[in-house]
Structure 1
Amino acid sequence: MIKIYHNNRCSKSRCGLEILENSGKEFEIVKYLENTPSEEELIEIINLLNISPIQLVRKNEQIWKDNFKGKELSDSEVIKAMVDNPKLIERPIVINGNKAVIGRPPETIKEII
């Protein structure tokens, strides 16, 4: 089943959700700010995206700027920062089987559905 990691306050995430709704396919919405992925789940997502953990971080968030910017962090420290501060996780993330994309721009979601 298709899964979207969604934040309703984000316009790109809302656009991504609309693409899924219009696809006619079944999907699950994960409100990741309320239901934060575990470290294991984030590692799985990062592996599906085929990126490094730092590429999943929203570096313009104030939390990042205040606490992490300019520091040398290991991959596990970056993942822990996202688990502790889910606002740092880039959005939307859409997973379909063994494929995943960050929906920026939202049209990239169409590639995996």
Structure 2
Amino acid sequence: MVTVYEKRTCTTCRQLSALLAERGVDAERVEYHVEGLREDELRELLRKAGLRPSQALRMREDGAGELAAAGDEEAIVAAMVARPELLQRPIVVNGDRAVLARPVERVLEIL
């Protein structure tokens, strides 16, 4: 089962949803910015995607630049847990692999 961590109002997330529908891929959807993520969940997502926390930091959000400049990966994880909107989206998980689907076609790497 494919799982998509998304924000449904996000343009990129909607594009990903359309791409998955075109391919006939059924996906479980997690609105992580509403539900939040536990630290262990976040770490597992990042591990599967092969990303450092700083690579998944959504730079458009308030405070992201300061976090990135500090270079403290642990502080970034803590901030993402406290403020899920700091995590880039969409992230797609398929089994033991994940990808930050930016651009959305990156999802094809794990399907």
TM-score normalised to the size of structure 2? 0.90
What is aligned with 2:67? 68
Shift of 1:53: 1.0
Question: Which of 92, 97, 112 in structure 1 is aligned with 2:110?
Answer: 112
Aligned AA for 2:47? N
Gapped regions of structure 2 (runs ≥ 5)? none
Please give the root-mean-square deviation of Cα atoms over the aligned residues, in Å: 1.5
Pick closer, same or farther for the CA change 1:108–1:72 going to 2, 3 Å: closer
Check the 8 A contact 1:19/1:109 in 2, yes or no: no
4+ residue segments displaced more than 2 Å = 67-72
Check the 8 A contact 1:57/1:89 in 2, yes or no: yes
1 CA distance for matches of 2:82 and 2:17?
A: 25
1 CA distance for matches of 2:30 and 2:103?
A: 19
What is aligned with 2:92? 94
What is aligned with 1:48? 48
SS of the residue aligned with 2:69?
A: coil
Identity %: 32
TM-score normalised to the size of structure 1? 0.89
Q: Deviations over 1:70-90 (max 9, x none)?
A: 3242x2221110011111100
Gapped regions of structure 1 (runs ≥ 5)? none
